[in-house]
Amino acid sequence: MAKKSYRQAISEALSQEMERDPTIVIMGEDIAGGAGAEGEQDAWGGPLGVTKGLYTKFGPDRVLDTPITESGFIGAAVGAAASGLRPVAELMFVDFMGVCFDQIFNQAAKFKYMFGGKAKTPVVIRTMYGAGFRAASQHSQCLYNVFTHIPGLKVALPSNPYEAKGLLIQAIRDDDPVIFFEHKAMYDMEGEVPDETYAIPFGQANVTREGDDATIIAFGRMVNFANTVADKLSKDGITCTVVDPRTTSPLDTETILETAAETGRVVVVDEAHPRCNMATDVSALICQEAFDKLKAPIKMVTAPHAPVPFSAALEDLYIPSMDKIEAAVRSVTGKSH
């Protein structure tokens, strides 16, 4: 099977779905770059080149460069979705979502509910999240937990190129609004991705490692950290199950509870700030539903409750590290160095 990058996987999903369904349009800031102006067309392909080539292939009617007005073009995407198109909007950094909260939280998420199930809103908002890019506090947040909080939104967090293609295709075909989170440190990550199209159903966690001693539940980029830690610890005789929930809304509570109960020792890894994040959410779930199966207190590995620092040295310390995950696993298993 062909190796492709996370960036290629996303681009391929967009391109193949746009070929399949003419109602799919993409829009965002510089997703073509130079569109409609004199000079070079398709100059950018988005800030990190994900949509490069799509303008040339699908033309100006389906690849729309928008003004730097998130409230405007996200509102336009939501409206277009409610009236028959399937827009995929790119909102550069999730940190900027704040300026279009009303369009997302009050409009997109609520249409189906407010109109008695008669309206559907098949919009996808692709966005970059996460630290590690030296982009400081206004361009490095996670915030997927904020969207998970809102009923009516679906939230996907692909952890590798295979997941990115399959989850994005599912997001595009889904009739509900989906916020699709791409970690900016992962665009060059490579993995095996089928050339054919496939959809990964939402709400089905992936168990990426199976072990007996501890269960690590990790989100997005952190899944890869957890896998690496699990592989390292297995050489020391500590075997871990690693769970990638894939989507935080809907959340595969069944797999989380099952795998937590199997080992009784749980570590939850979440790159978001520690208050009201996915780690607290999942920990509460396990405590309510599987408390009697726990053999040790749950450990959460998260970023601190502080803005993402610009200083490279501090940012590295800020992000949940493999060392911290390893220490947490050793702690819950009682098998320290």
Partner 1 sequence: MSEIQTIVMPKWGLAMQEGMLAAWHVEEGATVSKGQEIADIETSKIANAFESPVSGKLRRILVTGGETVPVGALLGVVADDSVSDAEISSFVDDFQAKFAEQLAASASEKGPEPETVEVAGQRIRYLQIGDGAGTPIVLIHGYGGDLNNFLFNQPALAEKHTTYAIDLPGHGGSTKDVGEADIAGQAKTVLGFLDAKGIQKAHLVGHSMGGGVSLYLATHHPDRVASATLLAPAGLGPDISMEYINGFIEASRRKKLEPILQMLVAKPEMVTGDMVEDVLKFKRLDGVDAALKKVRDAVFAGGKQALSLRDQLGSVKVPVQVIWGTQDKIVPAKHSEGLPGSVKVTTFDDAGHLIHMEKAAEVNQAILAFAAAD
Site for partner 1, rule CB under 8 A: 162, 166, 194, 196-201, 204, 206-207, 210, 255, 258
Residue 290, both tokens: 């599987």
Does 305 participate in catalysis according to the annotation? no
Smallest separation (angstroms) from partner 1 to the CB of 36: 34
Smallest separation (angstroms) from partner 1 to the CB of 78: 27
Give the span between the Cα atoms of 320 and 326, in whole angstroms: 11
Nearer to partner 1 by Cβ, of 61 and 196: the residue is 196
C-alpha torsion angle, residues 63, 69, 72, 77 (rounded to 10)? 30
Nearer to partner 1 by Cβ, of 145 and 224: the residue is 224
* C-alpha pair distances (Å), 191 with each of 108, 142, 148, 163, 165: 33, 23, 27, 10, 11
Give the span between the Cα atoms of 237 and 243, in whole angstroms: 19
Nearer to partner 1 by Cβ, of 255 and 333: the residue is 255
What does residue 271 show for φ and ψ, rounded to 5 degrees?
-75, -10
The 8-class DSSP code of residue 65 comes to E
Give the span between the Cα atoms of 206 and 242, in whole angstroms: 8
Smallest separation (angstroms) from partner 1 to the CB of 20: 9
Smallest separation (angstroms) from partner 1 to the CB of 100: 32
Residue 66, both tokens: 């928008």
Nearer to partner 1 by Cβ, of 122 and 152: the residue is 122
The one-letter amino acid at 82: A
Give the span between the Cα atoms of 213 and 190, in whole angstroms: 29
Nearer to partner 1 by Cβ, of 65 and 244: the residue is 244
Smallest separation (angstroms) from partner 1 to the CB of 296: 24
Give the span between the Cα atoms of 160 and 227, in whole angstroms: 12
Name the helix (H) or strand (E) containing 169.
helix 161-173
Residues with a catalytic annotation lie at 139
